[in-house]
Amino acid sequence: MDTLTRMRAFIDVVEAEGFSAAARKIGRSKALLSKYVRELEDELGALLLNRTTRQFSLTEAGHTYYRRASEIVREVDSLADAVRESSGDVRGRIKLSAPRTFADAPIGQSLIDFAKQHPDIVLDIHLDDRFVDLVEEGFDLAVRISRLENSSLIARRLAPFSVRLCASPELIAKHGMPVRPQDLGRVPCIIDTNGRWLTNWPFKGDSGDTVTVSVSGPIEVNSPMAARAAAVAG
Over residues 171-177, mean pLDDT? 94
Do 42 and 74 belong together in one domain? yes
Do 7 and 81 belong together in one domain? yes
Edge-first strand order for the sheet with 121-127 is 121-127, 92-98, 141-142
pLDDT in tens, 184-219: 999 999 998 887 788 999 998 888 889 999 999 999
Q: What is the pLDDT of residue 86?
A: 61
Question: Distance between CA atoms of 86 and 217, rounded to whole angstroms?
Answer: 62
Over residues 77-89, mean pLDDT? 69
Q: What is the pLDDT of residue 38?
A: 92
Do 60 and 15 belong together in one domain? yes
Question: Distance between CA atoms of 209 and 203, rounded to whole angstroms?
Answer: 8
Whether the per-residue pLDDT at 81 is higher than 80: the answer is no
Per the structure, the complete domain to which residue 213 belongs is given by 169-232
Domain termination residue (choose one: 113, 132, 161): 161
Instruction: Name which residue leads in pLDDT, 152 or 124.
Output: 124
Question: Distance between CA atoms of 186 and 164, rounded to whole angstroms?
Answer: 19
Do 116 and 147 belong together in one domain? yes
Please give the model's pTM, rounded to 2 decimal places. Answer: 0.53
Question: Distance between CA atoms of 65 and 46, rounded to whole angstroms?
Answer: 10
Question: Distance between CA atoms of 185 and 212, rounded to whole angstroms?
Answer: 11
Whether the per-residue pLDDT at 130 is higher than 70: the answer is yes
Q: What is the pLDDT of residue 152?
A: 74
Of 131, 127, 103, 136, give the one whose Cα is nearest residue 193.
Answer: 131
Do 23 and 61 belong together in one domain? yes
Do 74 and 12 belong together in one domain? yes
Q: What is the pLDDT of residue 150?
A: 63
Q: What is the pLDDT of residue 200?
A: 94
